[in-house]
């Protein structure tokens, strides 16, 4: 089927994506995961359970009516904690990846496209960020007193502040590798004849970046994004373990997995559930990335 | 006929290592009439592509100026001229964005110049696809599905989309198979007749030049050595370099003449010889040639001029 009239490039890309089976399947799996974590709200009001209420008489209870996946070491409902924890893990994973990725892509494209002194300044700044030792930096950022930055004391001690703190910390430390990757890829595309042709027609830098450079460097960028999502979800648990960001008893997949480590012989399922969810998320994001690459690269074969 | 493009004492220099300067184009003046095809010929490294890029607005001139439709091109007047001057590149594989469908590629100059809306641009792309002899279903396909000749047709369609008056064709045939070259050459002729275009046709293939162009400008080491109507140039070249170029063209039925060719390599544009830049390889060189640079002056045939102290009169 090849229509006579021209259709837009985005329609063509969507068609290619739709034909990519694992990509489409992953999209549905991710949507199902989002539906799953959002189901926490109706479930809480329906079953009158709370993710943080402990019941020491019900420790390690097996699955039963009302508690479909049983209870954890403090007698909390595992299912509802997976749902609520998933909200945090998915949101941190996606937000931090997107924010860090967008910062890195913008800096990389600008440095690679304009070159010269601007490139020098931006890349030395990036090198500086890479050279900073990670943990001390995190501890400093984690210790920033939000009330001194003009936020209200209520906000500074709320869960939301911890959440945003972690998203911003991860974004700040995670954009550097994407920036370098994007810069190198941009420099390869910059001197192609099709970029010259667009310049001869009067195209400016924003048009060139959006229309020619980004689609042509999409493959490495997408790979880098998809790898980052999984890493960030686990990184969140490391940060939470160090005491920044998501603080117990608020669950996240990362800290549930961490807590379950010492119980792995007595209650292995407590580690299996969050581990499985992280695993499925990372796999789905990777295949989604495959699908997107296929959509952007007309030469790729399934 | 009226002048479409005027090039006035144009020089393009590039900084090189160690504070040296590459004089890629030096003090070049010529003009192109409306509807005319001017060939720019020369060896590789003669600066012909640099000159073409400058005319297409991809390279800034170090000194000198360009005049388009009687108006000097400056920062203020370039944007309006850009849709009227288009370029076709040598390598049809690098000239098309591999991730853009053909309809977007062809309509791109219109989008950049904000001419029409999305629907009218697609209609225009569909017309052009047929005009350059490709099937309509090419519109929604990507460049990798096409052969070199077909891609060059797409590149020509892109150059035609904003209805330009001048197309800079930078060796558009040299990357193609010989059998395809003649088809694309005919296409270039057809579209010129259909829309009264001018070409600045950059080439090193004199046989192709003989088929397409009205006038020829010969470039050596960034300097114009001869400009002449095609018949005059092929019949009586005035400059010894042009003569050597013509002698180098292989011809069936002519015995090979071993000694007519010019010897040696073109000198480096970093350090051009004094006087006439060609004197180091010129069979006619005299003492004056290494001292006084010759000016481009009228030669034997009307419309013909050459930069040589001992040009054929």
**At residue A1, does pLDDT exceed 50?**
no
Confidence of residue A211 (pLDDT cuts 50, 70, 90): very high
Residue of A7, A195, A200, A221 to mutate, testing the B interface (most B Cβ within 10 Å of its Cβ): A200
Using one digit for the tens of pLDDT, what is the confidence trace for A121-172? Answer: 999 999 998 888 877 887 787 777 777 777 777 777 777 777 888 888 888 8
pLDDT one-digit tens code per residue, A20-42: 999 999 999 999 999 999 988 88
Contact B142 A6 (CB under 8 A): no
Domain that holds residue B209: 3-74+204-306
User: Is residue B183 assigned to a domain?
Assistant: no
- Is B193 a residue whose pLDDT tops 80? yes
Residue B145 has a pLDDT of: 92
Which domains are present in chain A? 29-46+67-296 (1.10.3720.10)
Q: Which of these ranges, A178-187, B177-186, B267-276, has the smallest mean pLDDT? A: B267-276
**Residue B100 belongs to a domain:** no
Minimal Cα distance from B142: which residue of A?
A298
Assess B267–A contact: CB distance below 8 Å, yes or no: no
**Is the model's pLDDT at B249 over the cut of 90?**
no
Nearest by CB: B98 against A7, A12, A298:
A298
The structure tokens listed for A72 are: 């954890």
In a domain, B65, yes or no: yes
pLDDT reported for residue B85: 93
Q: Give the pair of three-digit tokens for residue A6.
A: 């021209």
Q: How confident is the model at residue B50 (pLDDT cuts 50, 70, 90)?
A: very high
Residue B177 within a domain: no
Let me know how many helices (H) and strands (E) chain A has, helices first. 14, 0
Mean pLDDT over residues B53-69, rounded? 91
Query: Does A250 score more than 60 pLDDT?
Result: yes
Number of compact structural domains in chain B: 1
Listed in sequence order, the residues at least 6 apart from B111 whose beta carbon sits closer than 8 Å to its beta carbon are B104, B121
The nearest CA of chain B is from the CA of A110 a distance in Å of 20
CATH of the domain at B38: 3.40.50.300
> What is the ipTM for the molecules in this complex?
0.85
Which residue in the set B82, B103, B144 is minimally distant from A200, CB to CB?
B82
Least confident stretch, A200-214, B40-54, B241-255? B241-255
pLDDT at site B192: 93
CA distance B303 to B190: 26
Contact A4 B83 (CB under 8 A): no
pLDDT at A3: 53
Q: Which of A50-59, A193-202, A205-214, B275-284 has the lowest mean pLDDT?
A: A50-59
Instruction: Please say if the pLDDT value at position B1 is more than 60.
Output: no
Q: Mean pLDDT check: name the lowest of A18-27, A135-144, B142-151, B265-274.
A: A135-144
* Amino acid A101: pLDDT: 93
The Cα B121–Cα B108 span in angstroms is 9
- Reported as half-sphere exposure (CB side, CA atoms, 13 A), residue A86 has a value of 28
Q: What is the mean pLDDT of residues A4-22?
A: 86
In a domain, B111, yes or no: no
Q: How many CB atoms lie within 10 A of CB A288?
A: 24
Indicate whether B276 belongs to any domain.
Answer: yes
B55 lies in some domain: yes
Q: For residues A26 and A289, is the Cβ–Cβ distance under 8 A?
A: no
CB contact residues (below 8 A), chain B span 129-188, against chain A: 136-137, 139-142, 144, 155, 158, 162
Query: Does residue B271 belong to any structural domain of this protein?
Result: yes
Per-residue pLDDT at A53 exceeds 80: no
């Amino acid at each position: 089927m090849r229509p006579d009239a021209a259709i837009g490039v985005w329609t063509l890309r969507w068609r290619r994506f739709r034909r990519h089976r694992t990509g489409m399947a992953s999209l549905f799996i991710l949507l199902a995961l989002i539906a799953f974590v959002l189901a926490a709200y109706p479930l809480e009001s329906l079953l009158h359970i709370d993710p943080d209420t402990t019941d020491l008489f019900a420790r390690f209870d097996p699955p039963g009516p009302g508690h479909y996946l049983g209870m954890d070491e403090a007698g909390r409902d595992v299912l509802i904690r997976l749902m609520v924890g998933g909200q945090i893990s998915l949101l941190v994973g996606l937000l931090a990846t997107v924010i860090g990725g967008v910062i890195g892509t913008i800096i990389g494209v600008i440095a690679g496209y304009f070159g010269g002194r601007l490139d020098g300044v931006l890349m030395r700044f990036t090198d500086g960020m890479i050279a900073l030792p990670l943990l001390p930096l995190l501890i400093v950022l984690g210790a920033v007193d939000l009330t001194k930055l003009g936020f209200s004391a209520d906000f500074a001690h709320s869960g939301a502040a911890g959440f945003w703190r972690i998203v911003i910390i991860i974004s700040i430390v995670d954009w550097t590798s994407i920036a370098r990757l994007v810069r190198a890829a941009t420099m390869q595309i910059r001197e192609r004849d099709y970029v010259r042709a667009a310049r001869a027609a009067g195209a400016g830098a924003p048009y060139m970046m959006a229309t020619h450079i980004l689609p042509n460097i999409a493959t490495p960028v997408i790979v880098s994004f998809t790898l980052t999502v999984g890493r960030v979800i686990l990184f969140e648990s490391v940060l939470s373990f160090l005491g920044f960001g998501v603080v117990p008893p608020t669950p996240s997949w990362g800290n549930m997995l961490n807590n379950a480590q010492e119980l792995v012989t007595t209650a292995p399922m407590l580690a299996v559930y969050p581990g499985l969810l992280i695993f499925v998320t990372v796999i789905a994001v990777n295949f989604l990335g495959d699908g997107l690459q296929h959509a952007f690269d007309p030469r790729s074969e399934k | 006929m009226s002048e479409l493009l005027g090039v006035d004492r144009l020089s393009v220099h590039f900084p090189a290592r160690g504070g040296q300067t590459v004089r890629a184009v030096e003090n070049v003046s010529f003009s192109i009439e409306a509807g005319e095809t001017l060939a720019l010929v020369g060896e590789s490294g003669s600066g012909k592509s640099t000159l073409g890029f400058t005319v297409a607005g991809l390279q800034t001139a170090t000194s000198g100026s360009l005049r388009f439709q009687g108006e000097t091109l400056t920062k203020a007047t370039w944007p309006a001229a850009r849709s009227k001057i288009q370029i076709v590149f040598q390598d049809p594989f690098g000239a098309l964005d591999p991730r853009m469908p053909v309809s977007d590629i062809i309509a791109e100059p219109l989008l950049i110049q904000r001419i029409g809306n999305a629907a009218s641009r697609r209609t225009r792309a569909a017309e052009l696809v047929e005009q350059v002899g490709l099937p309509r279903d090419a519109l929604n396909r990507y460049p990798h599905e096409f052969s070199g000749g077909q891609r060059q047709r797409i590149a020509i369609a892109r150059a035609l989309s904003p209805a330009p008056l001048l197309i800079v064709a930078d060796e558009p045939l040299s990357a193609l198979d010989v059998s395809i070259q003649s088809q694309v050459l005919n296409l270039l002729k057809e579209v010129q007749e259909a829309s009264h275009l001018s070409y600045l046709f950059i080439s090193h293939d004199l046989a192709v030049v003989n088929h397409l162009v009205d006038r020829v400008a010969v470039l050596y080491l960034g300097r114009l050595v001869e400009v002449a109507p095609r018949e005059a140039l092929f019949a009586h070249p005035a400059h010894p370099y042009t003569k050597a170029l013509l002698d180098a063209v292989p011809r069936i039925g002519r015995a090979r003449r071993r000694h007519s060719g010019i010897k040696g390599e073109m000198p480096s544009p970093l350090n051009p010889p004094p006087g006439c830049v060609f004197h180091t390889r010129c069979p006619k060189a005299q003492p004056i040639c290494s001292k006084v640079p010759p000016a481009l002056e009228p030669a034997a045939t009307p419309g013909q001029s050459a930069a040589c102290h001992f040009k054929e009169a």
